[in-house]
Amino acid sequence: MKEEKQDELKRKIKLKQEELEDEYYAKRKEFSEKLDLFSQTNHDLSQMYNELNFNAHQALKEMQSEPEYFTSAEQINQQLQSMNYEVYQTKRRKLLNEWEEYEEDYRKQKRNLEDDLDSIRRMKDGY
């Protein structure tokens, strides 16, 4: 293979490596933002449930309700929070799994490009 052609191939591979790395960092930033937003939304929902429980407790207190109504209101709140937590954990795990799959694919592509570059260098060196 002519040296000029090898140099051109090396430039193309290096360009692909740069593009791959740029894409990786953009996706990593996007993933971090999604995860932060997801966590913040979960936190906001938890706060909302706590406020709702407090307000329900206050309303029941003002109406001089029987103790079983307080218990029912607290159980409903606990069920809502539990359901919210389960959904959050499931969705969070899915998001993390998707990121792990992407990272694995990224590393594979990066290795392949490095192998291609090494192969061209060896040809140039006569190995």
Convert the pLDDT of each residue in 67-119 to its tens digit.
999 999 999 999 999 999 999 999 999 999 999 999 999 999 999 999 999 99
| 118: nearest Cα among 25, 42, 6 | 6
pLDDT at 125 over 80: no
Q: What pTM did the predictor assign?
A: 0.77
pLDDT tens, residue by residue, 57-73: 999 999 999 999 999 99
Q: Which residues contact 24 (CB under 8 A, 6 or more apart)?
A: 106
Q: Write down the mean pLDDT value for the chain.
A: 93
> What is the residue extent of each domain of the chain?
3-125
Residue 127 is classified by DSSP as: -
Q: Which residues contact 27 (CB under 8 A, 6 or more apart)?
A: 102
